[in-house]
Structure 1
């Protein structure tokens, strides 16, 4: 049956004649709590530590008693407590370390109840693995030999260290997961890409990885974290009076290893150490900072990098650190 349009008029409701007004639609966003920069760094570092524990068969954490490795221990506590660390602590003792730092190292490991493995360069010297020109020669560069021997002895496939990019230019271009060949050597031209937080941990037999969870931290970040977490550090990081000699552009602490040469005079100066290591090549800096807060204030305005101001062995050439790393250094 045909229905004419005129017959449908009574069923059609007229549409009002109005204009739609475009008004902005307000969407209430749910915002997550903003992480502080320390929280973000901490989260990244804990992820890296857990990645090592999950992917590597036999890792170790390098613990010297210095501020960076102290931070690593706190990060490991947060990543794995209440369980035990899934790796032992390892220290390569040159025999020229500061006694205050060695005492702190042993005490901190005991407090944590974690296994501490110490391998000494004295053994490497006794076995003829390291040959020195003199008893007082700096042993810092020769640590690589003892470290590689320890890696072979315990078959570690990963060593976690506290190196940071801001310390030195060779470390600035090194990946977080830094691969070493079967000879323990690092090739800066043959590094694996690291995309976001995806890390490749595969190694061939005999190879190993150095992992740097706080690579993206700065010296200032480290001290701010120490302040926030109320971490104890060796007292030589704080200002104290010490006998030193001026040699080149740095100060060297008087010790059985370092004595004034002809024409040099010893002085008693208020100093502190920004980094701790081999007594024969680690320089203090003049400072009156006697608390963590004062160190933070001082670090915030300094224009000289940590290693640039304190390590004589880094001043032998522009490529000194890179050359040592190619030989197996940390």
Structure 2
């Protein structure tokens, strides 16, 4: 019997499914982060494949800042209903009570309170010992040096100088009480890999990834979409209608669109083949302070 060699994407798929199954077998109370973006959609698809025809044996968690695009929330709820997985949604009650928002308090404070602190609250509340995330090494330099199994202490902090060796496909999941592991099954995927896999597997995605004429404001070198009435304009700003799409999704006031006419998956892939910048350039939180992403990750951010 002649064995067929796996394609590049099949190798990545097999590696990711192996990691997901390994965590499900090794840890007592795992959870999968669901941020509703393209990487989360791929990770969810892989988890469904990993345990088919059974159900995913762990819940999905969405940390909701209350500032996500409306299309993202609609897509989240429809996806949970369609596939029947357990979806946990957590918001920081103290942050909501204080009215924390990116316009008044800035991206750094908003992200810390409504994302990082909210995530820690949820992980402590449910006692999760392993948390899947959709981060990839090609996204950003601090993520490039992080292991697949990323150790977190009892305060959920990360020390990049104290990481465990990972030889071949061997992962060290030993932890003490109160400690946890962040797990990144998509570590070795690229943005192009993600889009090619979405195309081949016909994975549903939030429509914001596809180009359409949308209301935007140019601010700090980014095109910010006006998603609801809470959008505040600065002096001299005007709302324009442009054909744009998003390479990455987050809180709408902190996420920049790109001008594009790529309204199909094949057109997006064609764009990715000639792209020379990271998708994270459209995220304000990556640039709001020196060493921004690594600092946030040290403090408990994904």
TM range (shorter): over 0.9
For 1:228 and 1:134, locate their aligned partners in 2 and report how far apart those are by CA, in whole Å: 39
For 2:96 and 2:45, locate their aligned partners in 1 and report how far apart those are by CA, in whole Å: 35
Runs of 5+ consecutive residues of structure 2 not aligned to the other structure: none
Partner of 1:64: 35
TM-score, normalised to structure 1's length?
0.86
For 1:322 and 1:257, locate their aligned partners in 2 and report how far apart those are by CA, in whole Å: 30
C-alpha contact 2:103 2:232 (8 A) present in aligned 1: no
Task: Map residues 112-123 of structure 1 onto 2, 5 A cutoff.
Answer: 112-121=83-92, 123=93
Q: Cα distance, 1:126 vs. partner?
A: 4.7
Distance 1:207 1:97, change over 3 A: same
Task: Map residues 308-327 of structure 1 onto 2, 5 A cutoff.
Answer: 308=281, 310-327=282-299
Instruction: Say if 2:161 is the partner of 1:189.
Output: yes
For 1:275 and 1:50, locate their aligned partners in 2 and report how far apart those are by CA, in whole Å: 27
Q: Give the RMSD, CA atoms, in angstroms.
A: 1.7
For 1:221 and 1:126, locate their aligned partners in 2 and report how far apart those are by CA, in whole Å: 37
C-alpha contact 2:31 2:58 (8 A) present in aligned 1: yes
Distance 1:286 1:126, change over 3 A: closer
Task: Map residues 75-154 of structure 1 onto 2, 5 A cutoff.
Answer: 75-121=46-92, 123-126=93-96, 137-138=106-107, 139-142=110-113, 143-154=115-126
Deviations 1:95-136 (A, max 9, x none): 000110111111111111111000013x132567x9669657
SS of equivalent residue, structure 1 residue 166:
coil
Q: Cα distance, 1:32 vs. partner?
A: 2.6
Partner of 2:252: 279
Q: In the alignment, which of 250, 259, 275 is matched to residue 302 of structure 1?
A: 275
TM-score, normalised to structure 2's length?
0.94
C-alpha contact 1:170 1:322 (8 A) present in aligned 2: yes
Deviations 1:278-319 (A, max 9, x none): 1110011000000001000001110000102x1111122341
Distance 1:257 1:280, change over 3 A: farther
Runs of 5+ consecutive residues of structure 1 not aligned to the other structure: 1-29
Q: Cα distance, 1:259 vs. partner?
A: 2.8
Partner of 2:200: 228
Q: Cα distance, 1:266 vs. partner?
A: 2.2
SS of equivalent residue, structure 1 residue 280:
helix
Give the number of the structure whose alpha-carbon radius of gyration is greater: 1
